A and B are shown apart, each in its own frame.
Chain A
Amino acid sequence: MIGLLLAIAALVAAVAYLLSKVEALAGEVAKLLARFGPFKSWGQRRQTRWRLERRAQKLLRSLREEAPIATDKLAIEWVDPKASREALLEQGKVIVRLRSEDRAEQNLVHATMLFVSTSLLFRAKRYLDPEQRDSFDLFVTARMLGQTRDNDGVLDAFLSEYMYPRTAEEGSRVDEYVRAFEALAEAGLFYGVLLREVDYLGEKVWGKKFIAELPPEIDELLDMLGSLAARVPGEKINSNVLREYCRMGVVLVGMQDKMQQGIDTWIEYIQSALVRREVDSIYLLGMWRDRAKLRQIAAAFADGYELTNASRISQTLSDGKRDSFIAVMRRHDPVVFQPRLPSRRRPFTKDPATIRTGTSPATGLLGTVRRFGGLGFGFLEVDSEPEEAFFHLNDCINPPEFVARGDRVECDVRTEGPEEKLKAYNVHFLHLVETQQPRQELAARAAEEREEAGVAVRDPEPDTATEAESNGGNGQSHEPPEGRVSAEVAQFGTKGYGFLRIAEVPISVFFHLNDCLEPPLFIKRGETVTCEVYVNAPGQLRARKVEFALGDESDSAPPPHD
Chain B
Amino acid sequence: MFQRMRGARVRDRRAEEPVDAVHDVDLGKLLDSLGLSEALEQGSVRCEFCDHVVTSDTVGALYPRGEAVRVVCDRPHCMARLVTDLNQRDGGGGSGESGR
Contact = CB atoms under 8 A, between A and B. Distances in A.
Interface string A294-334: 00000000000000000000000000000000000000111
Interface in A67-116: 69-71, 73-79, 81-85, 88-89, 91-100, 106, 109-111, 113-115
A134 B90 CA distance: 12
Interface of B: 1-27, 29-30, 33-35, 59-64, 67, 69, 74, 76-77, 79-80, 82-84, 86-88, 90-100
B23 A78 contact: yes
A98 B24 contact: yes
Nearest to A110: B79
A203 B9 contact: yes
Given A81-B33, A89-B67, A131-B96, A76 B19 contact: yes
Contacts of B100: 173, 176, 216, 219
A427 B81 CA distance: 54
A288 interface: no
3 closest Cβ pairs, A-B complex: A215-B98, A161-B76, A81-B29
Contact of A119 (B15, B29, B92): B15
Nearest to A177: B100
Contacts of B6: 333-336, 349, 351
B27 to A, nearest CB: 6
Interface residues of A, number: 93
Nearest to A95: B62
Contact of B9 (A48, A76, A118, A336): A336
Nearest to A125: B87
A215 B93 CA distance: 13
A77 B83 CA distance: 19
Contacts of B92: 208-210
A44 interface: yes
A336 B91 contact: no
B15 A122 contact: yes
Interface stretch (A233-241, A258-266, A340-348, A497-505): A340-348
A74 B19 contact: yes
Nearest to B29: A81
Nearest to A166: B80
Contacts of A219: 98-100
Contact of B2 (A91, A93, A119, A205): A205
A165 interface: yes
A536 B26 CA distance: 70
Interface in A125-146: 125-126, 128-134, 137-138
Contacts of A117: 83, 86-87
Contact of B61 (A94, A122, A161): A94
A338 interface: yes
A238 B13 CA distance: 35
Nearest to B1: A340
